[in-house]
Structure 1
Amino acid sequence: MPAPSAIKTLIVDDQQTMRSLVRTSLHAIGITQTREVPDGEDALRALLAQPAQLVITDFNMPKLDGLGLLRAIRAHPPIAKTAVIMLTGRADRDLVQRAVQFGVNNYLVKPFTTQTLKEKIEAVFGPLT
């Protein structure tokens, strides 16, 4: 049962509007230690420089997409245990299966509510206190 304020989170999405929506929802549930980057390459660099407990990443991005980022995270031992929630507008079974195969912790389909995001995070970390 982690305190939400203790969960360091990296938000990865190529759309500034979506990063803002995710940040606002996280802050509403008490997760205030957030950083934001626009693509998977920047996310990997940010994680290696300063690890996070949670990555919320879009699937469809330029340079390095969400699956590529997930694979890179799992391949780097210092950050391999980072929780990853994949955020996408596609509820594609094949995509979900590949994400699970690569070790995604949870999956969130856009549009989402703050409550749904909280439930997805609690499914990974347990009840937030």
Structure 2
Amino acid sequence: AKTLSGRLPEAVELIIYENFAIATAPEPTSSSGYGRFTYRNGGLTGPDDGTAICTKTFRIKDIDFSVLPKLVREAPGLAEKPDSRITHVILSRGVFCKDVGWFVYVTDGSKSGMVEFKPDGKLKNVTAY
């Protein structure tokens, strides 16, 4: 997170996969005003043109990334899918541009769910679909 916050102090969304992450952040050189940056193996590439549903940024250095392993461990059980796997985690303000939160996506192959946590790791909501 230090490397990311050094190059991108603010973002509107951070999508975390098992081996890489994609951040969408304000980018003056992009025609949309937003760029997508890929963080992989300690390096940051981009920007590619990006878009943002919610344009309100958050400061990456203010996020406590140490809670993430706990959220990933707890999400399958909270979603009542104990044998499921995590597909990805999104850190954003969501589609309604509210408070920043963690959105952990789980699937067991046939059914999926999303577990939403507050930035400090406290449970906020569970959605099955």
Query: Smaller-chain TM-score range?
Result: under 0.3
TM-score normalized by structure 1? 0.25
Give the structure-2-normalised TM-score.
Answer: 0.25
Higher percent of residues as helix: 1
Greater relative CO, 1 or 2 (CA 8 Å, sep 6+): 1
Q: Which has the higher strand share?
A: 2
* Structure number, greater radius of gyration: 2
